[in-house]
Structure 1
Amino acid sequence: MIEVNELRALCGDDDSMVKMLLTIYLEEYGESDSILKNRFSSDDVDGLFQISHELKGMFSNLCAKEAMTLAQVIESSSQAGSLPDQTAINDLCGKIKEINQQIERILQ
């Protein structure tokens, strides 16, 4: 989950900045769980590296440490040329859905 208070502090307690970042995430990465599953099912190691690397950075920016760590696991495996475990993909996809729901509640 996103540590909202930490994110707000990083944004100088500017709620409009927080909402802008969350909106950008949803627009750019809201469907990333489907992308991860598709790339995993097609054995696209390079594609998995790309999306997991992007997600790691985005989750770092959003103060979503657990999701960042899960993305880093997939990034490391795919960077080494190996397909990550199905469990790693499922865990990150589940976390993405949780974060998407959290963001939708915040933006209401």
Structure 2
Amino acid sequence: MINFDVLRSYMDDDEDIIQAVFTAFLEEHEDGSDKILSHYTAQNWSDLFLTAHSLKGILSSFGESDTVARLQSIENATRDGIAPHEDDVQHVIKGLAVINQQVIDYLASAS
């Protein structure tokens, strides 16, 4: 889940910046769960590594820690061409659904 206190500190408590970052996040990563699952199913470890790495970076700036830790595990495994643990993949997919909904709700309330 997003830690809004951490997010606000990273974004200098600027609502316009937060809204812009969230909008960009949805444009770029709203389908992150689908990408993770697709790459995992296809055993495409290089693309799974890149997707996990990208999501890990942006979610870290959101103050998220649980899904980030699982993304780090996926990144570590796939960097070495090893299949990540399925429970890590499933946890990330569920976590991303919650995060996406938080972002959507935030943007809707800011309108």
Q: In the alignment, what sits opposite 1:24?
A: 24
Q: Any conservation in 1 of the 2:45–2:83 contact (CA below 8 Å)? A: yes
Q: Which runs of 5+ in 1 are unaligned?
A: none
Q: In the alignment, what sits opposite 1:10?
A: 10
Superposition TM-score, scaled by structure 1 size: 0.95
Q: In the alignment, what sits opposite 2:42?
A: 42
Over 2 Å off, 4+ runs? none
Q: In the alignment, what sits opposite 1:75?
A: 75
Deviations 1:37-65 (A, max 9, x none): 01111110111111011111111122112
Cα distance between partner residues in 2 of 1:84 and 1:72: 10
Q: Any conservation in 1 of the 2:53–2:71 contact (CA below 8 Å)? A: yes
- The share of aligned pairs that are identical, in percent, is 25
Superposition TM-score, scaled by structure 2 size: 0.93
Cα distance between partner residues in 2 of 1:72 and 1:38: 18
Q: Which runs of 5+ in 2 are unaligned?
A: none
> Secondary structure at the residue paired with 2:94?
helix
Note the aligned Cα RMSD (angstroms).
0.9
> Secondary structure at the residue paired with 1:84?
coil
1:83-94 counterparts in 2 under 5 A? 83-94=83-94
